[in-house]
Each structure stands twice: as structure tokens, then as C-alpha cells.
């Protein structure tokens, strides 16, 4: 029920936008969007409304966390060895 899908803004007309949702075009309302969005931005769409602009570069952030955890475990292992 709470499914929301990342969609790319194709065009904007006042508080409505046409977005591309996995190849299909849909009209969505921008009225609930907390910040301004431009053509080309990705927004999270739920039942005809854009809810949030989607930030990029999070893949990097995830990798950074995994690396931190691996390093933490290495230190733990060293501690256990001594």
C-alpha cells in the first residue's frame, strides 16, 4: 500500500508535473513536495503525488558504512587475538 516509485520529471506545469515511471508517463501533483523540483530531477511518487526529491550518491554512502563495519570487525578480531 505504501509503495512509492522513483520517477523522473519530464515537464512541469505549475503544481503538476509529467513524470516517467519505469517507461510510462503519468501526471503527478507536486503540491506535497517540500522543496522545488526541476525537469530532470527524480522524485518519489505515491498514488499520484510526488512526496520527496530523491538524493543521489547514496550508493557511495552505503559502501562507506560497509567498509566501516568491516574495519570495526578487523579491530575486534585483533583484540580477540591478543
Partner 1 sequence: MQSKKIIDDFCHLIGKDINIMEVCGTHTVSIFKSGIKSILPNNLKLLSGPGCPVCVTSIEDIDKAIAYSMLDDAILTTFGDMMRVPGSDMSLYEAKAEGARIEIVYSPMECLKIAEKNKDKKVIFFSAGFETTAPLTAATLVEAETRGIDNLFVFSVHKLVPPALRLLLQSGEVRIDGFILPGHVSTIIGSKPYEFIPEEFSIPCCITGFGAEDILLGITMILKQIIDNKPTVDIQYKRSVKPEGNIKAIEFMNNTFSVCDSNWRGIGVLPQSGLKLNEKWAHRDSEKVFDIKVQSKPEPKGCQCGLILRGIKTPPECPLFAKFCTPEHPVGACMVSSEGSCSAYYKYRLQ
List contacts with partner 1 (CB under 8 A).
1-4, 29, 31-34, 44, 46-49, 51-52, 54-56, 58, 61-62, 65-66, 69-70, 72-73, 76
Q: Give whichever of 24 and 38 is closer to partner 1, judged by the CB atom.
A: 24
* Cβ 54 to partner 1 shortest distance, Å: 5
Q: Give whichever of 38 and 59 is closer to partner 1, judged by the CB atom.
A: 59
Across 1-82, the runs of DSSP E, i.e. the strands, are: 5-13, 16-21, 24-29, 42-46, 49-53
Do residues 43 and 54 lie in contact, with contact meaning Cβ atoms separated by under 8 Å?
yes
Question: What is the spatial distance between Cα 62 and Cα 40, in angstroms, rounded to a whole number?
Answer: 24
Give the β-pairing of 5-13 and 16-21. antiparallel
* Cβ 10 to partner 1 shortest distance, Å: 18
Amino acid at each position: 500500500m505504501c509503495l512509492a516509485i522513483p520517477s523522473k520529471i519530464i515537464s512541469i506545469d505549475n503544481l503538476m508535473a509529467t513524470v516517467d515511471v519505469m517507461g510510462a508517463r503519468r501526471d503527478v501533483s507536486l503540491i506535497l513536495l517540500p522543496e522545488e523540483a526541476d525537469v530532470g530531477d527524480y522524485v518519489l511518487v505515491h498514488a499520484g503525488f510526488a512526496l520527496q526529491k530523491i538524493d543521489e550518491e547514496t550508493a557511495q554512502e552505503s559502501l562507506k558504512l560497509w567498509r566501516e563495519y568491516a574495519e570495526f570487525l578487523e579491530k575486534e578480531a585483533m583484540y580477540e587475538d591478543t
